[in-house]
Amino acid sequence: MNRDAMDKSAVDLSVRIPSPKGILELAHPVLPASGTFGYGEEFEPFLPPGTFSAIVPKSISVEQRPGNPPPRAIETPSGLLNSIGLQNPGLDLFISDYLPRLQRYGVPILVNVVGKTIEDYCQVVEALEGRELVLGYELNVSCPNVKEGLRFGLDPEATAALISAVRERTGGVLMAKLTPNVTDIAEHAVAAQEAGADAVSLINTIRAMAVDWRSGKSRIGTDTGGLSGPAIRPVALRMAWEAAEAVEIPVCAIGGISNAEDILEFVSVGASMVQVGTHLYREPTCLIEILQQLRELLAQEGYGSLEELRGSFGRSSDRLPESSRPVR
């Protein structure tokens, strides 16, 4: 699109997420991906963690979890293979030691919640309801490195049952984190929406392997792990498009994002916001430049807001034929 360029300072990057308690407005679309951000302390030497529009901390379960055996991560071509196993301090220690630090950053907190049962998820949410700046939850139903993640994430009915149960316990933003390890991501997004989710985030890592053929062993401490990074971005882009086409709730895109161009690609296929993960290990200060580039690129093309661009893919006269779009 060729439009008259405008002042980049006038570009509106804000994102609005409706929920039963009202609309959560974020200053811009970039959040940290859970698991890559820790609980904020790790990023303090690089940039104020509150520079993100909201924080999605590392997963929290009722019980403390030691995680999977090491080695837990290895680089692959254009990606990172990890098998952390949802290591976390548990709910009680999170509330007493980690949450106060997160609250000091002054931005909304969307707590990533994981559990072995529906009751586990509900217990975490009930314990965090009403606490300062805890304005929502990202329900992790998609971790490929623990059995319960696969159980919930691969069955849309199980996903819906979980979301429905948690919905009864909170009016805050409820975002379901979906797995790419399914045949039809749209089916799972629709199930999440119908069960009461306010947004969906996708994709979690792709189940993958790295082996040492000489020793006949895995290069990480488990047989398989989760692949992230630029290698999965085209897959994530396709799935974000399919999900955005299928639901009316906001889509939070995840997968190999490393610059503003990547973000605008996801927005053009319908995503409202994004999470940056693996790239934070390479460039922990990247957010400042990304936000500047977002405004510059949108202004150059004459867009006054991010929302104007959202879903623009396929609007032009040279769009692909309807037969190329996902079939339901």
Catalytic residues: 143
Structure tokens, 177:
């984190």
CA separation for the pair 154, 142 (Å, rounded): 8
Structure tokens, 62:
């009722």
* Positive or negative: CA dihedral 313, 263, 304, 105: positive
Q: What are the beta bridge partners of residue 233?
A: none
**Which has the closest alpha carbon to 76: 257, 206, 262, 254?**
206
CA separation for the pair 131, 26 (Å, rounded): 19
For residue 78, what is the enclosing H or E element?
none
On the 0-12 / 13-18 / 19+ scale of CB atoms within 10 A, 55 is buried
Answer whether 89's CB lies under 8 Å from 61's CB: no
**Which has the closest alpha carbon to 188: 198, 196, 175, 176?**
176
Amino acid at 112: N
